[in-house]
Structure 1
């Protein structure tokens, strides 16, 4: 029987779970993270990538990544193109640094290869330990602010101003007012712990958008159908330019590092956080198959680059499935199957307006600010390091600039206060490289 096969492969009894529980957990995780099917294409589309096929790419990369995690680790952790990483791809690499999207996919490819090499060789642990704790927190929170700022901008709630740089948008505009209402609605449903609350807000706003007039018709147009074949990915599949980062290394090295930095610590934080809830950590508070999990993550990013998306990473929404009882990779198998089935709902997802996705961006940004609690506010040096990185990202519209300024600030403070011996050689080297990049304008 198929139940016996699941038992032998996933060791359900040993983990105190059943096939039914794992299926429910998988459905719960998918409901919690399925908003990425709509949000990721809307973000990547701003980079200049062809919109056609991005829903398919997102679903396929999520399916592949989640299967890799399930089969290589037997953990109930799902994967998909990461929020924050897609913003870095679109807004920092493509829009701010003016790197063609094909070359940006090449950067994602090399990020995955480097991530994989660091994991296989064990250097990953040394790199993780060398990065200041305050900087890790500042980067995560800064990305949260950056994503929220993008959401406010896309919604028209924040607009450009010649004197003050930014100002409040026109709330008398129906679409802008609806976006504001959507943000409040999203926060409420998430606070009420409604499963798939972010997805629910996208659906509700899209339905209301049918009645909101615009210059070209209505905010939400009528779908051409409910079920249909997935869009072709011929425009993005294997379109990555892997030679661009090598030929323009002086222009891209910091982007590759920043992408790896964000990807690595986002993955580690998610894996540890979700695994702790699932009681998968050993007596030393370590994840037994961390190496396999990181390998799955890196491999999924390489596969994602080949398909045509930003890095694929572990999703904290997996905690929703864990709370529903998920304990093994069978949960991931169910999530992957759901992403595969979602491919045939593309006609519905294509009519969701950009406005409907903005509350999701802002909500994710708010949730990413959660780690600010781990910051020691009595340590002024740590506080300054985190705040510089945190503020620099939305204000410079660049995640990599926030990381660079954070490194420089941390080293300057430590040396200036006589604590230079506490700084690792790797941190010194990176701070020096970033400083030289600014001094010689190597961008």
Structure 2
């Protein structure tokens, strides 16, 4: 094991990697329950999706650890599952079986792009200033997830358009203010009398103390101690009895509907509909997953010190291959696109340096197939402080960005701001790349923009227009 994962070379050991793996698993275990809760709104079976979530996360993370030897964990992506449910199925009218087929096609496309080296070329074409901004943007995104999970900052009434459409007296001629009355906050402070919020604040104070005192495995011990503190507070719920999960994945297993993407209602191939399907569904899944993965890999790798002197990630193609395999497998099992998780940063901060960390995360996810109720003991209020702390630590890349130079500052700021505000890593990278390209063109430096960046920028613009 020492030789395979090069533990001594990476200045780590079995115990450190195990703690890091457990830390990563704790911070992302919520996906076991949240992913089926979202996808089940399409009509998919909750228990089957939960099993698909655990298996795809476990196998994908295992492949990452063994193939790429990096401590990155994978699972069905938040944002991607929402796009699957609310945009593709409920919004555009596709069945969940057709949506799974689109995810599978995007996974196969990923494999082709990876094996041909195209995905690696895309990563390496991204300008350095953009790559430096990505970790900070992801840090802000992680912190927002942590604050929201903790209940310290909450989403009050949701997206403004949803509020308008749900208001009975709304009509086209009224201003938003007239419909809603007093100005409405979308983001606001949470209820600080709520025991869960209090626990999260205490957990962050405890974690901050451990980090400042440079306690080893501070994130892990911070989570454990917060869980224990939550017991007398009534936040940590320990069931009287435990039952094994019902193992039945048949409702979603291999239920992909390719015909629905190829044929219209009359059973004929409509090339106009086929083009629309490919552009709006498959390409959207591909772009979002691609840049979620690229952003996460670069961001968390930067924090772990895995990038070389040119800011590139060694064994990038292996990491991307693991991601592509996981997405394809996930579609076959019955879940939306699988991607590398930003919560991997918590395990990296806890000391994870090799693929052995990922192997431990994979084991915990595969055990959750049978023991999901045990994973549910850890409340989000206990893991939220760790996510906020990871956000703090990922701000360090900002010191390398020259904010006095607007050519660097504008794209960098857009990445950092748009990622958390739009709840999407891909949207942040898209905003940065579009304005980076625009600025170079208007300054007469169009030749300095890599051709791949032009192609990506165009694809993002098309996606924003069509979807």
- Using a 3 Å threshold, how does the CA distance of structure 1 residues 101 and 34 change in structure 2: closer, same or farther? farther
3-state DSSP class of the match of 1:35? helix
**Does residue 1:168 correspond to 2:184, yes or no?**
no
- Using a 3 Å threshold, how does the CA distance of structure 1 residues 189 and 59 change in structure 2: closer, same or farther? farther
For residue 410 of structure 1, report the CA deviation from its aligned partner: 1.4
Q: What is the TM-score when the length of structure 2 is the normalising length?
A: 0.71
Of 62-71 and 388-397, more deviation after overlay is shown by 62-71
3-state DSSP class of the match of 1:258? helix
- Using a 3 Å threshold, how does the CA distance of structure 1 residues 165 and 294 change in structure 2: closer, same or farther? closer
- Using a 3 Å threshold, how does the CA distance of structure 1 residues 34 and 420 change in structure 2: closer, same or farther? same
- Using a 3 Å threshold, how does the CA distance of structure 1 residues 225 and 219 change in structure 2: closer, same or farther? same
- Using a 3 Å threshold, how does the CA distance of structure 1 residues 28 and 158 change in structure 2: closer, same or farther? closer
3-state DSSP class of the match of 1:41? helix
Distance 1:235 1:119 in 2: 31
Q: Specify which of 89, 93, 108 is matched with residue 80 of structure 2.
A: 89
Distance 2:4 2:385 in 1: 39
- Using a 3 Å threshold, how does the CA distance of structure 1 residues 338 and 284 change in structure 2: closer, same or farther? same
Distance 2:209 2:451 in 1: 46
**Does residue 1:47 correspond to 2:38, yes or no?**
yes
Q: Specify which of 130, 147, 155 is matched with residue 125 of structure 2.
A: 130
- Using a 3 Å threshold, how does the CA distance of structure 1 residues 313 and 190 change in structure 2: closer, same or farther? farther
CA RMSD of aligned residues (A): 4.1
- Using a 3 Å threshold, how does the CA distance of structure 1 residues 342 and 136 change in structure 2: closer, same or farther? same
Q: Specify which of 265, 278, 293 is matched with residue 249 of structure 1.
A: 278
Distance 1:145 1:175 in 2: 22
Q: Specify which of 396, 403, 407 is matched with residue 433 of structure 2.
A: 407
**Does residue 1:146 correspond to 2:129, yes or no?**
no
Distance 1:156 1:383 in 2: 32
Distance 1:112 1:186 in 2: 38
| CA contact 1:145–1:394 (8 Å) conserved in 2 | yes
Distance 1:405 1:286 in 2: 22
Give 5+ residue unaligned stretches, structure 1: 1-5, 213-217
| CA contact 1:31–1:196 (8 Å) conserved in 2 | no
| CA contact 1:225–1:347 (8 Å) conserved in 2 | no
Of 194-203 and 290-299, more deviation after overlay is shown by 194-203
| CA contact 2:22–2:361 (8 Å) conserved in 1 | no
| CA contact 2:130–2:412 (8 Å) conserved in 1 | yes
Residue in 2 that maps onto 1:35: 26
Q: Specify which of 264, 267, 273 is matched with residue 294 of structure 2.
A: 264
Residue in 2 that maps onto 1:223: 239
Alignment of 1:30-429 (within 5 A): 30-36=21-27, 38-45=29-36, 47-49=38-40, 52=47, 56-72=51-67, 75=69, 77-81=70-74, 86-91=77-82, 94-95=85-86, 106=101, 108-159=103-154, 160=156, 162-192=183-213, 194=215, 197-212=218-233, 218-225=234-241, 228=244, 232-238=248-254, 248-252=277-281, 253-267=283-297, 270=300, 276=306, 289-307=315-333, 308=335, 310-313=337-340, 315-316=344-345, 317=347, 336-337=362-363, 339-341=365-367, 343-429=369-455
| CA contact 1:183–1:359 (8 Å) conserved in 2 | yes
For residue 70 of structure 1, report the CA deviation from its aligned partner: 4.8
| CA contact 1:116–1:299 (8 Å) conserved in 2 | yes
| CA contact 2:230–2:236 (8 Å) conserved in 1 | yes
Q: What is the TM-score when the length of structure 1 is the normalising length?
A: 0.74
Of 309-318 and 29-38, more deviation after overlay is shown by 309-318
Distance 1:356 1:110 in 2: 37
3-state DSSP class of the match of 1:34? helix
Distance 2:98 2:196 in 1: 35
3-state DSSP class of the match of 1:403? helix
Deviations 1:89-144 (A, max 9, x none): 24555457766876665555444323321221122332123223333344443333
For residue 171 of structure 1, report the CA deviation from its aligned partner: 1.5
- Using a 3 Å threshold, how does the CA distance of structure 1 residues 234 and 355 change in structure 2: closer, same or farther? farther
- Using a 3 Å threshold, how does the CA distance of structure 1 residues 181 and 333 change in structure 2: closer, same or farther? closer
| CA contact 1:87–1:147 (8 Å) conserved in 2 | no
Residue in 2 that maps onto 1:3: none
